[in-house]
Structure 1
Amino acid sequence: MNKNNKICHASIHRGLLASAILTGLGIAPVQAFEIDTGSQDVSVRFDNTVKLNYAQRVQSADSKLANAWNNNDGDRNFSSGSPVAQRVDVLSELDVAFKKTAGFRVSANSWYDHAYDDVGSFNPSTNQLNDGKPDSRHLSGYAERYNNGPSSEILDAFLFGNTEVGDESLLSGRLGKTTQYWGESVLSFTHGVSYGQSGLDISKALAVPGTEAKELFIPRTQLSTNFTINPQWSIGAQYFLDWNAARIPESGTYLGFNDGIQSGGHNLSIIGAANPLFGEAGPLGANQFLRLQNGHTYTPDKTGDFGLMAKWSPAWLDGTLGFYYRKTSDILPNVVLHPTAVGPAQLISGVVGSYNQFYADDIDIYGISLSKNIEGVSVGLDVNYRHNMPLSSVAATVSQAAAAAGTPGFISSFNGENAVARGNTVHAVLNGLATFGNTPVWDSSSLLVELAYSRWLSVTDNEQLFKGEDWYHGIDKVSKDNYVLGMNFNPTWYQVFPGINMYMPVSYTVGLSGDSSVQMGGNTGTGSYSVGVGMDVHDEYRFDLKYVANFGDFDMCKSPGSVGRPGDGATPGVNGSYSCVVGQPTTFAGSSAQISDRGMVTATFKTTF
């Protein structure tokens, strides 16, 4: 087998998966536009993809979620029947290659969304502040840019080169802003070997259920190299020169599920009475809004993350084994609370302290993968062990006295990353892709099924913050094991009309059992789904109509609690009374539960030229 056949063999599994999932998502592959350079040595491709997207909320707000102080800005900004997207995106891609051995690639996306021109919450309990007072019409500058526009950003921007080494070997490399995706997980962006290789567009994952994990990656500046040694072995390495956080829906945007985090979070609402920060009885009445203002966001170093990879494709296996080691930083934020003593000035302003956001680093990931065709099914397996992994934790509160007393949920001081439980976990992803031919119901179809699993092995730091401890009573209490199922199904009908193919993509994801020990790892009974119809016209124009919804459970406070009579809160607080505010949610079974009332219909048109 020559090296070209080897490369083709090694990539066939990923190619089949990519083609099937892109089709299921309504993204038809197109041919690049070739520019005649007048030279056989220089090739230039330039593409522009235009996508128009309209979305409308069709589900009325749940009164409980609409009244959730720290989760309701997006709910109140968009009423049922109102547009939540009127967006145009233009993706431009330029690829230049010299003798197919060196060159560069640059891609950029530009956008504008009319639906966000006048977005702002009129809710007096909004989590946006202006000069210390609730702002009735406000989005953060970050949300204005990425959700409203008009704006643009560079995506890929890298140099590449490759050279043959001997008769069987090929050495290639990239330098610049790009992505690499290791392992075989397709739908699970949390449990695969690739976790943390780049930031992820969580907004897209929530808006388009079933999106392939690698389609969520945000390009990251890096130096990477791959060396195909022979038909059986290839090795690779990458060193990062930048760091990207996940893009979580911002406060006030339609799918925003936490109004305090990321760039759009200006403050967190707390309560005046029965507050675990203040003890049994707070300084004011239960209806008094008190707030912690957003302070500083601590991010990992831009350099230091790296990865090593080897792939082995022995003839007897008729497949490919992958071996990986990665040193990475987390891409999901944690929060630490800094309440202060309440005096006259704090009572007037309503601000009683601050909170900081931070991202953990120094995570080790050891992984193996397998890709193989079994009885006509393209099978992928990812298994990885994580050391020093951030675990699902309560928001830590800084209090030296409470920490000294061993009170759950408290730490004595904050150094920029220590306010989260850490431990060791194991994760696995198993998927299979099957295609089916002509039946009485459809002309062809593809089915992708993926099962993700996680298990926490030990807690090594800040056990008093871990949601898996007995003292934690939230609906998202961590279990030892966690299973999540994802599915994409796409039946196809060819030439329904001359030049027109029809599709009916269906996606479904649900937590089967247990609550994951890592953020966004999955919760029992929580998930999302979409069902729609698509039309491909002459392989040039794509039209899609979908219904998208999220689902999940949450706990409500019915009893506020007092000394000797525990309430419905999730944590004991300084007095052990599990205090909470009647009528407020206490905990959610994952992010999808927080937006479980935001079902929408989307209509999309896409073409490339």
Structure 2
Amino acid sequence: MGTLSLAGLCLPALAFKIDAGSTDLALSLDTTVRYNAAMRTKDQEPALMRKFGIGGGDSLFDKNELALSRLDLYSEFDLAYKGNLGLRISASAWYDHNFPDRNPNVVTSSSYPGNEFNGYVKRYYQGPSAEFLDAFAWGNFKLGSTELNLKAGRLAWLPGEFLMSNGNGLSYSMAPADGQKGDLSPGASAKETALPIAQLAATWQLSPELTLLGQTTLEFRSSRISEGGTFFNAQGDTVLRGPGFVVPGTVRRIDAFEGEKGDIGVGLKWTPPWSDGAFSAWYRKFDDKNPSWPNQIYATAFISPAPGVTLPQGTARAVYAKDIELIGVAYNGVLASWSTGFELNRRRNMPLNTTGLYGSIPRATVNDPTLEGARGDTWHALVSGVRTLNKNPLFDSGVIVLQLDYTRLEKITKNAAMFNGAASGVANRCVDNEVLRGCSTKDALSIGAVFTPTWQQVFPSMDISMPLVALYGLKGVAAAQNTSMVPEKSYLFKGGARLEWVIGRMKHQFDLAYTTRGGPTGVLPGQTALTHTGLANFRDRNYVSFTYQTAF
């Protein structure tokens, strides 16, 4: 799960100030160095090893094998002139000598020709490689009694009250997400996992109480997810840019049907003097940065490789939904010693969980908008809270973070027969055992929690803490795509210890953690084999991870 992004759980960079020889000019260069390692701790489960779409990633590393050994660098350069004009540039680099060129262990047919990982996977998983991230200029301007801040260039902007995932938030798909880095570099900060996108962004302080906010994008850029056939992938072996096949040997993956530039977002923030908090409202129209339909198959013919077995032959691509409209409200404030946030939004033309296989389709219709899968109107809400705990007999200080996510399907507006749920109206689809079948339900609810007790100055200049993270699906399976919600009865737990050691001006952080996942299993009516659904598909990929990072 690369969607977990928790503020305050990562090592802050120590700014290195550059003497520019002028008090008007401020320059700084910050660099974070991070090493991550992970080792699988559980035997491969034969049923999952043989499962189509799961076995590739499951077979890559066996118990007690090193699944990750990665070095990351992240640098950020900031320039400010008189505090009114500025420039920001950031970049990252990485290398994992442990990642193989191919997977020789796959039991099922590989989604990679010859089991060889392609150049995209080798670049982002193996390296060495690097890329620029932020690259934008900013300015503060006085307009009468108002103040205007403008940013232009590549940047990531994610307003809202979310603390873990913004899948149900107002800022959903406002910037692409780097789920790969979230999985491969667990200590990465939110600045590293929110991919910048070319845009114009404005914050206009109209009065002490009112702020107008706006955004328009100048390019389309898609999110990244852990690629199919890799150990940390949680969306199947056939996605997204790495695998050459969706159905091995018969359905070849082609370029995605992506969105376009021109997203717009307008928000108004109100901070009334009689309230301890702030209210905001947003309207947005945008193209999804996440694949709404990872495997859209064009079956030009059918072949029978064995008696009674019919497979499609053709091509497949990922589809990114266009012209989603969102309108919503948010609030943040303090309630009974909790810093709380609330968001509610309605989305029109939202991509829904889509299934099914098209028949023979003429090439001329390849860009027909009606071929984008099921779409509909949905409601989304999240409630978040943070509370600081004072010294007590058990620990010196602590932090509790909570987030509750909810989504509801209002109606299906396009391609209902392709919806993966009972509401599709297709006979015999999702008639029973909806969750076990992986079918979407009308309502879905999930919760995430983080508890971090801290013991200060256990040794001179040394603090120890114990971050504990849990995600659990309370009800249903989300009908809307990419909400990052955990399906009902699925869970993720990550627990460990952190040591922070200050030596001079340098802080050294060491993390040791254990991650486990699970979910519903059972035998469906008329079948004999055990069915795994949700995070049960990854219940044998438990691992222990180690992270060291420092900043200068």
Residue equivalent to 2:232: 255
1:43 paired residue number:
26
Q: Give 3-state SS (helix, strand or coil) of 2:429's partner.
A: coil
Task: Report SS of the residue matched to 2:301.
Answer: coil
> Which stretch has the larger CA shift, 498-507 or 465-474?
465-474
Correspondent of 2:273 among 290, 311, 315: 315
Residue equivalent to 2:509:
542
1:203 paired residue among 152, 177, 180: 180
3-state SS of paired residue (1:116): coil
Answer whether contact 1:372 1:380 (CA < 8 A) is retained. Answer: yes
Cα drift, residue 583 of structure 1: 5.3
Q: 2:136 aligns to what?
A: 158
Per the alignment, in what secondary structure is the counterpart of residue 382 of structure 1?
strand
Q: Residue 540 of structure 1 aligns to a residue in which SS?
A: strand
Q: Distance in 1 between matches of 2:207 and 2:514?
A: 48
CA distance in 1, matches of 2:128, 2:184: 20
Q: 2:86 matched to which residue of 1?
A: 103
State the number of aligned residues.
Answer: 527
Q: Distance in 2 between matches of 1:214 and 1:421?
A: 33
**CA offsets, 1:371-413, max 9 Å, x none?**
1012221010011100000011114423579xxxxxxxxxx97
Shift of 1:213: 7.0
Cα distance in structure 1, aligned partners of 2:249 and 2:524: 18
Residue 465 in structure 1 maps to residue 418 in structure 2 = yes
Per the TM alignment, residue 595 of structure 1 is displaced from its structure 2 partner at its CA by: 2.3
Distance 1:342 1:507 in 2: 46
Sequence identity, in percent? 30
**Cα-Cα RMSD:** 2.7
Post-superposition CA distance 1:351-379 (Å, at most 9, x none): 72222221111000101000101222101
How far did residue 90 of structure 1 move? 0.6
Q: Give the Å deviation of 1:209.
A: 8.3
Instruction: Note if contact 1:191-1:454 (Cα within 8 Å) is conserved in structure 2.
Output: yes
Rounded to whole Å, the distance in 1 between the matches of 2:187 and 2:418 is 32
Is contact 1:358–1:416 with CA below 8 Å preserved after alignment? Answer: no
> Could you say which residue in structure 1 is the equivalent of 2:543?
600
Partner amino acid, structure 1, of 2:141: T
Please report how far the alpha carbon of residue 114 of structure 1 lies from its aligned counterpart in structure 2 after TM superposition: 1.3
> Residues of 1 paired with 2:31 and 2:183: CA distance?
25
TM-score normalised to structure 2 length: 0.89
**1:180 is matched with which residue?**
157
Q: How far apart are residue 243 of structure 1 and its match? A: 1.8
Tell me, what secondary structure is at the counterpart of 2:254?
strand
Residue from 349, 355, 369 that aligns with 1:394: 355
Deviation at 1:31, TM superposition (A): 3.0
Note if contact 1:73-1:121 (Cα within 8 Å) is conserved in structure 2: no
So what's the TM-score if we normalise by structure 1?
0.81
**Aligned-residue offset at 1:148:** 0.5
Matched residues in 2 for 1:549 and 1:417: separation?
40
User: Which residues in structure 2 correspond to 1:475-514 (within 5 Å)?
Assistant: 475-514=437-476
Shift of 1:246: 2.0
* Contact preservation (8 Å) 1:360, 1:417: no
Query: Partner residue of 2:394?
Result: 441
Q: Is the 8 A contact 1:246 1:332 kept in 2?
A: yes
The aligned counterpart of 1:418 is: 371
| Residues 182 and 146 (structure 1), Cα distance of their counterparts in 2 relative to 1, 3 Å cut | same
Local SS of the residue matching 2:151:
strand
SS of the equivalent of 1:547 reads: strand
Opposite residue 56 of structure 2, the aligned amino acid is D
Q: Distance in 1 between matches of 2:480 and 2:250?
A: 27
Aligned equivalents of 1:556, 1:159: Cα separation in 2: 57
CA distance in 2 between partners of 1:461 and 1:213 (Å): 35
Aligned mates of 1:253, 1:64 — CA distance in 2? 18
Counterpart residue type for residue 123 of structure 1: V
Whether the 8 Å CA contact 2:70–2:96 is kept in 1: the answer is yes
Identify the residue that residue 338 of structure 1 maps to in structure 2. Answer: 298
Assess if the C-alpha contact under 8 Å between 1:379 and 1:433 holds in 2: yes
5+ residue gaps, structure 2: none
Q: State how far apart, in whole Å, the 1-side matches of 2:480 and 2:189 are.
A: 20
One-letter code aligned to 1:388:
N
Partner of 1:221: 198
Is residue 83 of structure 2 the alignment partner of residue 63 of structure 1? no
**1:588 aligned onto 2:549:** no
Report the equivalent of 1:278. Answer: none
Q: How far off its partner does 1:290 sit?
A: 6.2
* SS of 2:496 mapped into structure 1: strand
- Asked whether the 8 Å contact 1:199–1:245 carries over to 2, the reply is yes
Task: Quote the Cα distance in structure 2 between the aligned partners of 1:494 and 1:459.
Answer: 53
Residue deviations 1:151-177, cap 9 Å, x none?
Answer: 01111000111122334x211111111
Distance of 1:247 and 1:467 partners within structure 2: 24
Counterpart residue number, 2:334 = 373
Asked if structure 1 preserves the Cα contact closer than 8 Å seen for 2:327 and 2:345, the reply is yes
SS of alignment partner, residue 75 of structure 1: helix
